[in-house]
Structure 1
């Protein structure tokens, strides 16, 4: 059961969070800065001038899958080079290709095998991984190894994975602004600053009505969350949110892109029933339903683009859900800002991480250290 009073009591939160999970979730901006610096020291900028035959983004368990999804969505169908998102290095890998991989698990044997295959065939490999273990050894001396500098609990390493990937894409000159062609700064300071600002909004001392992560946690409590992205980038963040809720709060969520997710007809009917409200004349004792009711669904629309999410949903599905919670951080990242979609995606992923941690603490799902 949710203890909603806990979220309004910073001292109680601190006493319960003996493992410092909230503090770790607030390090997103610091993770980005340290990863960008580590990538520079690992020689990632030396990829400048390379135009690969293909960019291979390895999707491994954990934050790697989200980072690969976000990077692929950023590049989109107009990418200057083919982008392949895969679980292992393909058989055709060669010296004209670039591989980007991330893991928090130093003993990922499948990733180690992929790294060995890629470096043996002469591909450029950017590897974000712990400095000890089979994965690092697989690319020793031949992969550009970016080691973590800020330790975090499992599931909170997305900022590091994303920063290393962005460093590689920036060196390859594949990430530019939509209007003026401006590249991301090598230190990723703009991204780190946006994440620092989000951490400030979500700090435990702020009341739920001033804290977007606490507010979201309260809205999701005792519900089945439907995390639907109104664009491809937001859909990647939605999938990350589902993993975060499962990792930190033990909550099962249904993520996806709104046009595809809206074809789940039973969920749509549940949404419509919830929007209509409960039948005030129903007597649960006189009209038993034969078993406990499933938690009601809660729709959260995530958006990273410039357009209004409600209008996008109406255009793509033919209808809207006025009762949906909308997470479209245009107040935090204004329309027209350079790389706004990327900044909003990273901000939303961080908000979902912190909301999941708050929910896990308030339901006692996160165990004491």
Structure 2
């Protein structure tokens, strides 16, 4: 059964604050602070000392929570130009040894599988960068042998993607794998996320708040989140997870070219476009019982996403376009990274707003 949206809640900051007793909106607004604290923690942990080390492979462990999304996004941002193999895995591969660098992150200090992986990696002499809470078997497994980047800003595990991404960026920057130089403080990234948090603050009306606007557009629909470039596709996957986590909404995420091969979805998109016709008579054409689909195209590159979608699929799509070139202008240094992070933060906030407005998030 589709949850009923109370759109009046999104226009009432006091009611939002009352509904958000657990502070999910406040946690989502800490994205910039998470980046700054993680960057500083990485410096304190000696991650910068990896400079000059060219690993045989960079292994990023994919654990429950945000580490998988951070690894996928980092992999997409580096792309095929990454000078060493970039491996994402649930557990440390059997071939890992002294020539490799392993990044392990989790919000769960009791993750026994991760603890075993960390122990295996350090036992084989790999360089390990570990970011987990300080107490528990995971931290103990790397004690004294891993570069320990302690999380310093407590947020729910589902809202810590900025921290996980910042730790990964610190590692690839120190290893010289990033195309160009990244500021070790990651200040431009943190500033972009602060600006997005300002746009998405509860006091702004939905027409001025991109996260609220997105939540309203997705309500009572089945979202199809399609990326027009690899980082955007990674963000789409994170967006689908955020919707499931905070709003109980099932969404389909994919690369636009892959999505276009799903013939039944193509028909559903065309049907949804016809059902949006203001001249349609609902008695003559009642439409489907299931919530109609809504296509959202995400993009982080310099190109127009609609043109990219047409070129890659051979047709146009009735879609909402999310390509934050107004926020991150074309030609900005590391624009793809900044746009991807801004979009990920927007999806987090939109999912929380939707969860609050449908009472999926229960008051604490």
Q: TM-score, normalised by structure 1?
A: 0.95
SS at match of 1:33: helix
Q: Say if 2:202 is the partner of 1:204.
A: yes
Distance across 1 between alignment mates of 2:108 and 2:229: 30
Alignment RMSD (CA, Å): 1.3
Q: Say if 2:120 is the partner of 1:120.
A: no
Distance across 2 between alignment mates of 1:281 and 1:203: 39
Q: Say if 2:305 is the partner of 1:305.
A: no
Question: Residue 275 of structure 2 aligns with which residue?
Answer: 277
Equivalent residues of 2:18, 2:363 under 8 A apart: no
Question: Residue 265 of structure 2 aligns with which residue?
Answer: 267
Q: Say if 2:315 is the partner of 1:319.
A: yes
Question: Residue 356 of structure 1 aligns with which residue?
Answer: 351
Question: Residue 11 of structure 1 aligns with which residue?
Answer: 14
Distance across 1 between alignment mates of 2:286 and 2:164: 50
Question: Residue 104 of structure 1 aligns with which residue?
Answer: 107
Shift of 1:107: 1.0
Where do 5+ consecutive residues of structure 1 fail to align? none
Within 5 A, what are the aligned runs for 1:57-72?
A: 57-72=60-75
Shift of 1:206: 0.5
Within 5 A, what are the aligned runs for 1:1-369?
A: 1-176=4-179, 181=180, 183-277=181-275, 280-283=280-283, 293-321=289-317, 323-369=318-364
Distance across 2 between alignment mates of 1:288 and 1:300: 24
Equivalent residues of 2:206, 2:213 under 8 A apart: yes
Deviation string 1:32-63 (CA, Å, 9 cap, x unpaired) is: 00011111111111101100011111111110
Distance across 2 between alignment mates of 1:231 and 1:149: 32
Tell me: CA distance 1:293–1:48, structure 2 relative to 1, closer, same or farther (3 Å): same
SS at match of 2:60: strand
Shift of 1:282: 4.9
Distance across 2 between alignment mates of 1:196 and 1:225: 26
Distance across 2 between alignment mates of 1:167 and 1:142: 19
Where do 5+ consecutive residues of structure 2 fail to align? none
Distance across 1 between alignment mates of 2:321 and 2:315: 15
Shift of 1:280: 3.0
More displaced 10-residue stretch of structure 1: 197-206 or 76-85: 76-85
Shift of 1:74: 1.3
Q: TM-score, normalised by structure 2?
A: 0.96
Deviation string 1:131-170 (CA, Å, 9 cap, x unpaired) is: 1111111111101111111111230000000000000111
Shift of 1:276: 1.9
Equivalent residues of 2:166, 2:186 under 8 A apart: yes
Report the number of matched residues: 359
Tell me: CA distance 1:343–1:202, structure 2 relative to 1, closer, same or farther (3 Å): same
Shift of 1:245: 0.3
